[in-house]
Amino acid sequence: MPSSPQHAAPESGDLSGPVAEDLALYREKFRLRLPESLDDLHGPAQGVVELPLHIAWSGMTSYDMRNPRQRMGLYRTVLHEGLREDLPRYLNHDLLLQLWPVLRTLVGRTVRTVWEDAFPQLASCARAAA
């Protein structure tokens, strides 16, 4: 189950033993899904996007990219549930950079940290928007 902003995962420095190991495995799950580069993200920036059930297993499967809430929902869902091969198909480099300052507050701490550690330009655009 993904971490949510309301129930953020504790930092690993606060934990020891099995809980720290579980958190490390959770982070590794997201790290292994990352693309090599943000430039690999060539997903749609417009139109209606249909997500497969292995990504959108618990809710909406169709997202209209003209609708800001649906666009943000699609990105949040793909970041949490998408597999490595899904990320380039459903995420768009330019749109991710544009959405990141708000999107980073909607994804769990683990997802946010993994993405910002791997791609410092995401953290930079968040700071620039603040």
pLDDT digits (tens, 9 = 90+) for 40-61: 999 999 999 999 999 998 888 9
Q: Model confidence at 3, in pLDDT bands (50, 70, 90)?
A: very low
pLDDT digits (tens, 9 = 90+) for 13-26: 556 687 777 778 88
- Look at residue 1 and tell me whether its pLDDT is greater than 60: no
Count of CB atoms within 10 A of residue 104's CB?
21
